[in-house]
């Protein structure tokens, strides 16, 4: 086929392919390589905990891949279309999925907001995890038992910069950066002790411009101004160039941390 015909078919597929749950692999045409194995970190703690709460489980894809989960495992999800998807995937494993409003972005939590209030009593869990989901530190602390553990992995504020560079556009400035230092300060103010932390970069490789267009179309928080129609000319340029190694690879800054609630009890250290 000609380049133009291939290109049109790729974008037509990207326009019509639905986004279900939280699977962004696009038939393995999008490959994400993180700087560490957050799943292994969670697994090590989950083996020692009597219970686990997963905040913002999406369609339950990542949680369902965990090889060992406590008998009492609960997940929340704030985007209503994902709730039945997550329930269909997780409830056969005995995991309750609770529809709950997601928290405001962590950098926007100066004022009180009812969003992010967790529908659980105090001291209800020994392990809470948040993978790329915003959270209210005081609420996480409230539902954790004394000595309980909070594990989170997050994408930093500059996570979209490489996407803007791909399209020769200036990355938007952010008045307050969401990064490891901010997260540590926020959790420590709430009363946590941060005991482990790291930051690095993950790579996202797109097999073709159709995969790239589908990803950005369906994740508007990554590149809010993106549309396939408006970006068509630049997508065509990328399509012509993508035979160069790495031409459709971007890097995103990540961080993870472990925070411990005050108190002497809780899961043992893995």
What is the tens place of the pLDDT at every residue in 207-251? 999 999 999 999 988 898 899 999 999 999 999 876 555 579 999
From the CB of residue 177, how many other CB atoms can be counted at a distance below 10 Å?
A: 13
In a domain, 195, yes or no: yes
**Domain holding 115: CATH number?**
3.40.50.150
Look up the domain containing 169 and give its range: 3-260
In a domain, 173, yes or no: yes
Res 142: pLDDT: 97
In a domain, 129, yes or no: yes
pLDDT exceeds 70 at position 267: no
In a domain, 45, yes or no: yes
In a domain, 43, yes or no: yes
Res 113: pLDDT: 65
The pLDDT tens digits for 87-102 are: 999 999 999 999 999 8
Please state, in angstroms and as integers, the Cα–Cα distance from residue 203 to each residue in 114, 117, 147, 254, following that order: 35, 33, 34, 10
- Give 103's pLDDT tier (boundaries 50, 70, 90): very high
Considering the chain, what is the average pLDDT of its residues? 91
Res 217: pLDDT: 94
Res 112: pLDDT: 59
In a domain, 131, yes or no: yes
Give the total number of structural domains in the chain: 1
Q: What is the DSSP letter of 28?
A: T
In a domain, 65, yes or no: yes
Q: What angle do CA 169, 226, 236 make, to 5 degrees?
A: 75
Cα 270 to Cα 268: distance, rounded to the nearest angstrom: 6
In a domain, 269, yes or no: no
């Amino acid at each position: 086929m000609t380049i133009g015909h291939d290109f049109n078919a790729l974008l037509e597929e990207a326009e019509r392919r639905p986004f279900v749950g939280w699977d962004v692999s696009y038939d393995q045409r999008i490959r994400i390589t993180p700087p560490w194995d957050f799943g292994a970190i969670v697994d090590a703690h989950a083996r020692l905990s009597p219970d686990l709460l997963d905040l913002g489980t999406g369609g339950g894809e990542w949680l369902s891949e965990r090889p060992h989960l406590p008998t009492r495992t609960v997940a929340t999800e704030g985007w209503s279309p994902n709730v039945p998807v997550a329930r269909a995937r997780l409830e056969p494993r005995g995991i309750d999925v609770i529809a709950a409003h997601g928290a405001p972005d962590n950098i926007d939590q100066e004022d009180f907001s009812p969003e992010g209030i967790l529908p659980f009593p105090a001291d209800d869990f020994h392990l809470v995890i948040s993978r790329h989901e915003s959270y209210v530190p005081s609420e996480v602390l409230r539902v954790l038992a004394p000595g309980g553990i909070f594990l989170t992995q997050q994408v930093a504020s500059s996570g979209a910069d490489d996407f803007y560079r791909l399209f020769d556009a200036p990355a938007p400035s952010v008045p307050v950066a969401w990064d490891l230092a901010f997260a540590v300060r926020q959790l420590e103010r709430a009363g946590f002790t941060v005991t482990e932390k790291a930051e690095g970069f993950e790579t996202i490789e797109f097999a073709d411009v159709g995969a790239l267009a589908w990803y950005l179309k369906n994740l508007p928080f990554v590149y809010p101004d993106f549309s396939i129609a408006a970006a068509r000319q630049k997508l065509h340029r990328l399509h012509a160039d993508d035979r160069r190694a790495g031409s459709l690879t971007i890097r995103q800054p990540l961080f993870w941390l472990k925070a411990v609630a005050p108190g002497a009890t809780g899961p043992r250290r893995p």
